[in-house]
Structure 1
Amino acid sequence: MIEAAEQALSFSRGRTRTDLDSDTMLVMALTRAVEIVGEAAAQVIPAGRQELPEVPWAQIVGMRNRLVHAYFDINRTILWNTVQIALPPLLRQLKAGVGGSG
């Protein structure tokens, strides 16, 4: 999850929301990275989820499911906001959990 989230942030660095309207490769890259975050979240066992109860597991998996099945009907603003607004705090939570559990 951490690696894919970091990749999404890297892909979007120096870019703006309007870039998604003209850069299909950026849309595909961000979509795939967020899908991977969600797929990884779906694989976390209940005990692992209990260690990080502040992580919105169901929302992350739900976003993955929406992206995987939406094909070309992806709301680019929601995708952008997910990367820019939701991923940075998620990364902090995950890194704190990894560091905290040794």
Structure 2
Amino acid sequence: MLISARPVARCVSGRTFDEFVDDIQFQDSVIRRIEIIGEAARRVSEEVRNSLPNLPWGRMAGMRNLPIHGYDGIDLYLTWDTATSDVASLIELLERLLEREDPAP
């Protein structure tokens, strides 16, 4: 999930919602990475999910479905909000988890 979350954070950093709306390639790259994060979250075992209750597993997995099944169009505002706030929180949580699991010597 970090492999896709970090590029989303870099991509949206210093950018505006208007830029996002006006640039289809920007949208595509962010949406694709959010799909990947959602798919990865969906594939995490129940055991791991239960051991990490602070992560919003259902919401993350659900984000995959928005672009995949968004037949009526993709909500760009929701996508932008996810990319600019939720992804940053996810990165922070996952990095803390990794540090806890594998502390630096």
TM-score, normalised with respect to structure 2: 0.90
Taking the aligned partners of 1:34 and 1:17, their CA distance within structure 2 comes to 16
Matches within 5 A, 1:77-96: 77-96=77-96
CA separation in 2, counterparts of 1:47 and 1:65? 23
> C-alpha distance in 2, partners of 1:51/1:23?
39
1:15 aligned residue:
15
Equivalence for 1:64: 64
1:52–1:93 Cα contact (<8 Å) kept: no
| Counterpart residue number, 2:26 | 26
Q: Match for 1:74: what amino acid?
A: I
- CA, structure 1 residues 80+37, in 2 after alignment: closer, same or farther (shift >3 Å)? same
Identity of aligned residues (%): 29
Uncovered stretches (5+) of structure 1, i.e. residues with no partner: none
> What residue number does 2:74 align with?
74
Deviations, residues 65-98 of structure 1 (Å, cap 9, x unaligned)? 1221115711111001001111111111111112
Cα distance between partner residues in 1 of 2:69 and 2:60: 15
Residues 37-91 of structure 1, C-alpha deviations (whole Å, 9 max, x = no match)? 1011111111111221110000111111122111571111100100111111111
| Partner Cα distance (1:79, 1:42) in 2 | 18
The residue aligned with 1:41 is 41
Normalised TM-score (structure 1): 0.92
* SS at 2:17 equivalent: coil
Partner of 1:97: 97
